[in-house]
Amino acid sequence: MTDTAPPAVPASPTARPRAAVDPARPGPVADVADRAAAGFADRYAGSPAGRWAAPGRANLIGEHTDYNDGFVLPFALPLRTVVAADRQDGPRWTVWSELSGEPVSFGADEVAEPGRVTGWAAYVAGVVWALRDAGHDVPGARLAIASDVPLGSGLSSSAALEAAVLAALVDLGGLDLPAERWPRLAQRAENAYVGAPTGILDQSAVIRCRAGHALFLDCRTEAIEHIPFDLAAAGLAVLVVDSRAPHRHADGEYAARRAACERAAHLLGVPALRDVPAAGLDAALARLDDDETRRRVRHVVTEDQRVLDTVELLRAGRVRDTGPLLTASHASMRDDFEITVPEVDTAVEAALAAGAYGARMTGGGFGGCVLALVDADRADAVADAVTAAYAERGYRAPGLYRATPAPGAHRL
Ligand code: GAF
């Protein structure tokens, strides 16, 4: 999933000790691009042929719907991973990240089949493997990686790394691979090489998002629509709260949720839970024996509907009115899908009590980040309220960002 990926976060805003909301994003973009280029020059001598960036993402709504062939609505964050790279002779890839210190080098043998490169470099090797497996002539390359996407916060640091590496290799090799096909390739790297059974949400978001918009994605057909999401024009902000909760068995629980959904679809005789319409939910639930399965199904079916309803409201310019849908999504994740943790629930409750229009956990769960939709001029007050609630419960201070919808992967 998104939690074991590597790149570096030296000057991350998550290190801030107090509740100040990081105000003027995208501030660190130039810095992270400079760090990647400087890392390249230090490590390999000379200048890179180019730099490629891919963002972290937040999912506005639509959680655990992607692998059920359903709907999601993410937007890209102005926190990015940047790869500075050039070609090198032969099938050899050398990768350095500002977090790891020492470069990792691998050749054709290690990318002949999954599993031979491990640790953070597996995300890079996985992309090379997936490209080669799809028949592309991948150029050898030297890569230097810097990142402002915090690790283990559920903001898709691993997808950002995969997408930035993919963008670099496609460009360096002049590969005939349109960007619409990148998400499946990056997902394949993560599923088959790294071994995390994720859906298509994260890779689609970090590749296909557009600045100022949320990405409405049908995960079955991969059809997309860029939905205007102009928070500033509406006098609103999305506050991202990093719960800092230690991840508790996230990988195993994720796989268990996915398996439960697939089992339920099988029992209901549909290809995926997306095929259970909201209007037919009660009838479907009546056909299932155990309460836990019923709750898992109810989350997915109602969450798909909430995505569709959110999209309708955004299309109508009613951003504020999406708040109750976000909060209902959180309740569904907490009570039916059972993927929240106390720190995350505390952040949601404190944000709502301080006047947020809606708040919910974003991402796979068991920790990670919360999004709160707030009046822009209340963002600091809501941030302070969440920080105070954390202090009261003795939790580690949360990280706080203000999110502006940013573009997907591109060459700088
Ligand atoms: C993680 C996964 F990587 C996504 O595919 C998605 O399932 C998400 O959890 C939950 O919506 O980020």
Question: What is the per-residue pLDDT across 87-130, written as a single tens digit (0 to 9) for each?
Answer: 999 999 999 999 888 899 999 999 999 989 999 999 999 999 99
Query: Above 80 in pLDDT, residue 19?
Result: no
Q: What is the pLDDT of residues 125-149, one digit of tens each?
A: 999 999 999 999 999 999 999 999 9
| Active-site amino acid positions | 202
Q: How far apart are CA 378 and CA 59, in angstroms?
A: 22
Residue 315 makes CB contacts below 8 A (sequence gap 6+) with 227
Strand order in the sheet with 74-87: 104-107, 92-97, 141-147, 74-87, 50-59, 410-411
Residue nearest to atom 7 of ligand 1 (CA): 64
Query: Above 50 in pLDDT, residue 12?
Result: no
Contact 54, 411 (CB under 8 A): no
User: Once rounded to an integer, what is the mean pLDDT over residues 160-185?
Assistant: 97
**Ligand 1 contact, 199 CB (< 6 A):** yes
**Ligand 1 contact, 247 CB (< 6 A):** no
Average pLDDT of the chain to the nearest whole number: 92
By DSSP bridging, strand 71-72 and strand 358-362 are: unpaired
Query: Above 80 in pLDDT, residue 23?
Result: no
Residue nearest to atom 1 of ligand 1 (CA): 364
**Ligand 1 contact, 66 CB (< 6 A):** yes
Per-residue confidence band for 1, with pLDDT thresholds at 50, 70 and 90 = very low
The Å distance, Cα 202 to ligand 1 centre, comes to 6
φ, ψ for residue 174, nearest 5 deg: 55, 40
Question: Ligand 1 atom closest to Cα of 72?
Answer: 11
Query: Above 50 in pLDDT, residue 13?
Result: no
